[in-house]
Amino acid sequence: MTTVALTKNGLSSSTGAGTFKGSSWSQATSPDAGKYIGFSVTPNTGYALTLSSLSYGLVSSGSGPATYQWYSSLDNFTTPLATVASTAAPANTTLTLPAASFGNLTSTISFRLYGYGATASTGTGGLLGDLVVNGSVAATSAAVLTATPTTLTGFSAPLGTASAAQAYKLAGNNLPPDGSLRVSLPVNSGFEVSGDNTSFGQSLTLAYAGTSLPADAAAPLVYVRLAATAAAGPYSGVSITTTVFDKTASATGTAATVSASGTVSAPKAAKPTTQPTITAANSTANTVDITLTGGNGQKRLVVLRATSATAAVPADNVTYPASLTLGAGGQPGPGNFVMVADGTTVAATLTGLSASVSYTLAVYAYNDDGVAGQESYLTASPGTATFSTTAGTAFYYSKPTGDLNNLATFGTATDGTGTAPGNFTTANRTYIVNGIHSLSGNLVVSGTSSKVVLAAGSAFTIPAAFSYGGRVDMQDGAYLTVLSPSPALNLGDLAPGSTVEFAQAANYVVPSPSPGYGHLKLTNATKQLAPGSTNIYGNLTLENVSSFGGSNTTTFSDIALNGNLNLLGATTFDPASSGRITLGLYGNTPQVLSGNGNTLRLHLLRTYVSGAGAVLADANGGTPLEVGTTRGGGLGLLAGSTLTLNANTLSFTPGGRASLVNSGGTGTITLSPASSLNLESLNTSIGSLYLTPGANTLNNLRLANASNDYLDVSSSLTIAGALTLDGTGRLDIGPNQTLTLTGTLTGTGSLQGSATSDLVIGGSGALGTLRLAAGTQQLRNLSIGRASGSVLLGSPVQVGGVLTMSEGTVTTTSTNLLTMSSTATLTPGNGFVSGPLARVTAPGARTTIFPVGSGTAYRPVTLTATTQTSTTTYMAEQKESPPTQSLTVNDPRGADLRRVSFRRYFTVTPTVQPTGFNGTITLSFGPDDYVNVPNDAGLVIAKRASPAAAWANLGHSAETGSSGTGPGGPPVSGTITSASFTSFSDFTLGATNTNNLTATQVNPLPVMLTSFTAARTAADVHLRWATASETNSTHFIVERSLAGQQFEPVSRAAAAGTTPTRIPIRCLMQWLRWLLFTIGCGSSTTTARPIFRRLSP
């Protein structure tokens, strides 16, 4: 027997004479499962242990545990064996153990003493005196467990249904008392077990009493059957194990095993009635090509075996895996391998064969209704074919140097020594070339399956004077140069890192090997691609090629390129558009196209890998790209790919039908401020322009066509240079996109707007004529921020969102009108509309600003409706021509006008007179309007119903600019608001004051003076002036001043209409300031108005 020493678990150690104790006991009213004193007892093998009692004592400090409990592992420490107060167990206290539970123990048993009810974590407690385990140990007989029968066979069930059950009987002696029997199955065994032939599962536990199992009819039975969930197929020799566990749930090592076998049969599809046929061809030492035809099965199963192996047929309800590599597929029988098992293969190449072996192929028709396990094979008279593989390949190696047409250059050793070949005509020979070599004569490698292999790092030149015939394979790093004008070589497997250069001095048609080139370089003369596709897994280089193109027949030429493209020297492309090629880019990273100053001309450039694309290199003159031909072509970018232009120009071939081929995807163009697009096409739609976010600014964009071509801008776009719209081309601003123009706009084409399109015009200077195509003459937002610049409208434009007038002018006409819809808002600035501006206003009280101006004078007009019951369109315009001076006499407002501004007037007219309108108008004024006291009551707004009507006083209800500079001061800027009115017409500044005194003139609003000059003679100063109009003027008074402060009259002249007036004035020979007045006569008043000041010697 083995006893484990006492241990403290979860307790802090504490010492004391004659004790085993600790602290940190549970302070709760129940034990803490992690805090106890424990020990265990284990009987030796072949012995049983019977425990009768424990002898112990307990000790606790004043703050230690108040109560202790004993537990054992027989019930996993669940029920206490005893509960004892800390003061009730002095040394040698006895704990009697139940005999039924603690007899005949054959495995380890553990005991734990828990304490609780401590009042402090520092309180100590534990065992006092000796701990004695009382009991006996007796030798045991070996346990025996048997199962009868030990083999169960013949189980059978259809797929999805459990089989009938069979049972085996268990018998046992000398077993651990009151233990259990546990029955287990392997994973995915297909079987299940039960103890009552009713409830089945993957495991079973049977309890027993005593140390032996009942015999005869009372013996325990284990029922076994195939499960309903078992997959179809045979189940052979499945081990069902019954293991004995003692009452502590520990395995004893005593077990019995029963073997079970059976079959789950699946429903089978109907059997075909006609076998397919099979043929074999092109066998080599390791491969063969097969062709399958006919048969009326849903699928075909091809089995390959060495002819010497015994044929085996496939079994129904069995799914065989297939592989085109011999030995990797399933086997219906030894040496019979399934190569094909499907309904689609009609031709294939079988690999992994051995050289010089005779093989037999068999093909079987079968049906499975698309369900694995339901195969039904037609096995009678399968289609067969036999073939033999060729002998193994003999290898010869070249020396580092020497002409390859010389047999002595080759030998059987890897360094070229050894036995040389006798000829180049024997089959199955491989000539491996190392080093640098050429030819001194013609060379033909004609043996069947024979070839030349250029090893890594080797170079082979076929000179112009000789030719090579036969297959050539190339390893990575190998280089083949072809100068011969008519080589007969057959390019085979070319590694991605190999290079083939065609450098003939004469024109040459470049072959298209399968699967393709590694790197390809074309040099000199004209090089033309063969019809169809040429695959290049590395780079393509063209150097000094005078004309590069492809087939101009129906089967055109295209390149599938995985690497980069380099144009070196002076390289040009086939001038005939029919010979231009399609370049497809298949690289997994962006591929660099380097023109080095040469223009890359293609039929179509297309990308095929998302996340990749093309980059046009800038170096050495850049890479201009021209795409398209008369048969179409252009640019097609797969979604997720991009074309980076850098400082290059993408052009469509003039006279061609190129487009942005959006059917190829929605890849993007990455622009830079130095990029340009020149898109000229005869197509009716160029396509959609998708731009890379954050890279949507280019230099110049040109659209040119004669067939209403349009380009849809599906991304926001900024054109920093020239936008040229030649012919009838249209640039379509896509929905929710913004077109920004900061350069110039020329041509007769137009933009295409929409209710969700935005247009921003920046830059400086004159933009040009802005046209929107008919039916699309609307924008969401229009922003004008053109410093010292102008925009000329060449069509009507309606803004439905925000009109921003930061800087610059927009010139309009009544035909090419700028209209703001009722939903539009204005962000004013220093920009204005020169010409008519229309605004649609909804019913109700509202304020509408018209940012109008002319020349350099920006004088916005504000119309404030206090009431309006109809939606009305108002058109406002600033007129710089002087209004007539016809004034209303006996004005209804009580104060007659004495004058109106000669500078300008404003028209504000509705297209239809609004209903229920009442409101005011606010005019702005600047220095050239000669207003110096804005809050003077005599400053009013004048209104007339038509150009033929007299001006009437519209009153003065508010102003900005306050008192200005005061009487006699210089003019100021501000606004004046009229009194209420109900109808529309022309509006201007007017005055009702008299302004009699020179030094106190208020808001003079002078007549229009066209000239005023002074010239000194020997004795006089000659003053000369002319006016454009002198309405209500009777005469002029001239005053002079030395300092410009105190003036005195010196002369008088009668008003003379617009005839120039000249008077001589004698004066001192010094600097003078001259002041000219006009004296006007109204109905009952005389007024004096200052006209002009001038400094003259």
Are residues 670 and 576 part of one domain? yes
* Rounded CA separation 394/422 (Å): 12
Cβ-Cβ contacts under 8 Å for 255 (sequence gap 6 or more): 145, 241, 242, 243, 244
Burial of 567 from C-beta contacts in 10 A (0-12 / 13-18 / 19+): buried
Q: 895 — phi, psi (to 5°)?
A: -125, 120
**880-904 as b/e: b if 16+ CB within 10 A:** eebbbbebbeebeeebbbbbbbbbb
| 565 Rama class: left (phi>0) / alpha (psi -120 to 50) / beta | beta
**What sign does the CA torsion over 233, 239, 245, 251 have?**
negative
* Rounded CA separation 370/167 (Å): 37
- Within-domain flag for 707: no
Are residues 384 and 397 part of one domain? no
How many other C-beta atoms lie within 10 A of the C-beta of residue 415?
11
Structure tokens at 830: 């220093």
Are residues 940 and 799 part of one domain? no
- pLDDT for the residue numbered 1036: 64
Nearest partner of 818 among 837, 800, 840, judged by Cα: 837
Mean pLDDT by 10 residues, the chain (1097 residues): 82 90 95 95 83 94 95 93 93 91 86 96 94 86 87 92 95 89 94 96 93 85 95 91 90 91 87 96 93 96 96 92 96 96 96 94 95 91 95 92 95 95 94 96 93 97 95 97 92 97 95 95 95 96 95 86 97 85 96 97 95 96 94 92 97 90 81 95 82 95 76 90 91 93 95 96 97 95 96 98 97 98 96 98 96 96 96 96 88 90 94 93 94 93 94 96 85 96 94 65 61 67 61 59 61 57 44 46 35 38
What's the CATH code of the domain at 294?
2.60.40.10
- pLDDT for the residue numbered 1096: 36
- pLDDT for the residue numbered 1031: 44
HSE-CB at 685 with a 13 A cutoff on CA atoms is 9
Are residues 223 and 292 part of one domain? no
Is the CB of residue 447 less than 8 Å from the CB of residue 470? no
Are residues 411 and 369 part of one domain? no
Q: Where are the beta strands (DSSP E) in 661-763?
A: 668-670, 676-680, 687-689, 697-698, 700-705, 710-713, 717-719, 722-727, 730-733, 738-741, 744-746, 750-752, 758-761
- pLDDT for the residue numbered 247: 86
Task: Read off the amino acid at residue 436.
Answer: I
Cβ-Cβ contacts under 8 Å for 199 (sequence gap 6 or more): none
Instruction: Output the furthest CA–CA distance in the chain (Å, rounded).
Output: 164
Are residues 603 and 467 part of one domain? no
Alpha helices in 51-93 (DSSP H): none
**What sign does the CA torsion over 956, 959, 965, 970 have?**
negative
Residue 182 β-bridge partners: 205, 243
Peptide bond into 65 cis (omega under 30): no
Are residues 538 and 428 part of one domain? no
Structure tokens at 881: 């021509």
Task: Read off the amino acid at residue 340.
Answer: V
The residue among 429, 462, 496 that closes a domain is: 496
What's the CATH code of the domain at 48?
2.60.120.260
* Rounded CA separation 1055/798 (Å): 50
- Within-domain flag for 703: no
- Within-domain flag for 847: yes
The residue among 101, 118, 139 that closes a domain is: 139
Helix (H, G, I), strand (E, B) or coil at 1089: strand
- Within-domain flag for 704: no
- pLDDT for the residue numbered 1027: 60
- Within-domain flag for 1024: yes
pTM for the structure as a whole? 0.61
Are residues 1072 and 991 part of one domain? no
* Rounded CA separation 142/252 (Å): 11
Is the CB of residue 350 less than 8 Å from the CB of residue 304? yes
SS3 track for 567-591: EECCCCECCCHHHCCEEEECCCCCE
- pLDDT for the residue numbered 1073: 46
The residue among 354, 388, 422 that closes a domain is: 388
Question: How do beta strands 1072-1081 and 1033-1041 pair?
Answer: antiparallel
- Within-domain flag for 308: yes
How many other C-beta atoms lie within 10 A of the C-beta of residue 856?
10
Structure tokens at 54: 């424990």
Domain region containing 462:
393-496
- Within-domain flag for 1091: yes
How many other C-beta atoms lie within 10 A of the C-beta of residue 83?
11
- Torsion, Cα 7 11 15 16, to 10 degrees, reads -90
Are residues 347 and 406 part of one domain? no
Q: What is the DSSP letter of 613?
A: E
* Rounded CA separation 725/704 (Å): 6
Are residues 398 and 315 part of one domain? no
**465-480 as b/e: b if 16+ CB within 10 A:** ebbbebbbbbbebbbb
* Rounded CA separation 580/591 (Å): 20
Nearest partner of 1087 among 938, 924, 966, judged by Cα: 938
Question: How many domains does the chain fold into?
Answer: 8
